[in-house]
Structure 1
């Protein structure tokens, strides 16, 4: 995708929002959900996803739960209480950013 750099700055917010909506998810599930929601427009690579998940975990925004599935260990990520609060903040920041970009790109377009 040509504009993947635009999404890169929003990756943490995307992850937090998905976990807010879905409770807990494992890495591959997150990548597939993003692909599904965006009709294949956004593909998150493992090389981008896992460092982001590890950073969010280190910031105490995510908890990790390990479960055995089909004789394999699977890491599930879920929001901590701090992560839930941060999700609200990140979504507000993103909404403000989008609003400002819309005004800059199309000044005649009014936003209610």
Structure 2
């Protein structure tokens, strides 16, 4: 069972999770992060580090976020690995609590 990054990450892209990942399973897009399910070792370290609570165990992804399971797997195949913490997006705080921002995702 892998962990999954969900909608809350879109337009925020906090990378605190990347810093604690022992296997470098995160992949970076322009305004979103995903977890490569083939690399994730289910260590749970990233969950507590996410300030917007965007990371869930695959079995615990909320019903309205289920599409992110396949989306993480799809985008992880083409996005480049991110292995070091970076600054969040400049307007991350404004977007942190916004719901319904899936349409904002840049592939």
User: Could you tell me the TM-score, scaled by structure 1's length?
Assistant: 0.31
Q: Higher helix proportion, which one? A: 1
Structure of higher RCO (CA pairs closer than 8 Å, 6+ residues apart): 2
Question: Computing the radius of gyration over CA atoms, which structure comes out larger, 1 or 2?
Answer: 1
User: Could you tell me the TM-score, scaled by structure 2's length?
Assistant: 0.32
